[in-house]
Amino acid sequence: MELSEIIPHIEVLIFASDKPLTALEIVELINNAFGFMEHRVSLEQVESCIGGIKEKYNSEFYPFEIKESGGGLQFLTKPAFHKTVAQLNGDKFLKRLSNAALETLAIIAYKQPITKGEIESIRGVNSDYSVQKLLEKELILIAGRNEKMPGQPLIYTTSKSFMDYFGINSADDLPKIREVLAEQVVEGTIISKLDFTSNGNQIVTTTPNIEDN
């Protein structure tokens, strides 16, 4: 089967799937659909086609694109159309996580696998409610128990829904801690020559005088 013939089958599989599809799953699905073929579709062929498909939908002509998110490939609307699509789902679509839940989720994402006790040790407050809300939203899951700790507490990790929610394909796609901290650095005030005026031989700032009480 030529690559040009494979491409529409890949597109329709990604479009119709209710979950992200990996390249390996696509290979299996296509070969199962055309089991009579003399030459089976290979992973290399599918990956080559996926590259072409991504390039195709990157065009400004399309309001959606194919991205690796949630552990596989999905058709996703482009950010420019977020507000338009949001009208279909109202408040449910626009609902945001609370600051406490986001803080808890960030700790789990960067420290996973982690116990609730370890989360609370970092946050300094009880995290029962936040953890429960994240479980209800299926952004985290219980991955087992830490058998090396007293009481064998539950271990929490992020889920595939978490990756889908934030548009990433794995925890490795998360921003590095140093990158996040770098964005929070407060830069010094830059003073321009325009902030000063010439008064004879003196340079006087244009800021009004403040008298001491």
Q: What is the pLDDT of residues 115-127, one digit of tens each?
A: 999 999 999 999 9
- Mean pLDDT of all residues in 153-171: 83
Identify the CATH number of the domain defined by range 3-83.
1.10.10.10
> What is the fold, at CATH topology level, of the domain defined by 99-183?
Arc Repressor Mutant, subunit A (1.10.10)
Which residues in 121-147 are b (16+ Cβ under 10 Å) and which e?
eeeeeebeebbebbeebebbeeeeebe
DSSP bridge pairs for 73: 21, 68
What are the residue ranges spanned by the domains of the chain?
3-83, 99-183
Q: Do domains 3-83 and 99-183 have the same CATH topology?
A: yes
- Mean pLDDT of all residues in 164-171: 75
What pLDDT, on the 0 to 100 scale, is given for residue 52?
Answer: 94
Residue 97 has pLDDT above 60, yes or no: yes
Top pLDDT among 210 and 151 is at: 151
- Mean pLDDT of all residues in 155-170: 82
On average, the pLDDT of the chain sits at 81
What pLDDT, on the 0 to 100 scale, is given for residue 19?
Answer: 86
- Mean pLDDT of all residues in 2-27: 92
- Please classify residue 119 by burial: count the beta carbons closer than 10 Å to its beta carbon, then call 0-12 exposed, 13-18 middle and 19+ buried: buried
- Percent of the chain exceeding pLDDT 90 equals 44
pTM of the model: 0.57
Top pLDDT among 153 and 178 is at: 153
Q: How confident is the model at residue 37 (pLDDT cuts 50, 70, 90)?
A: low
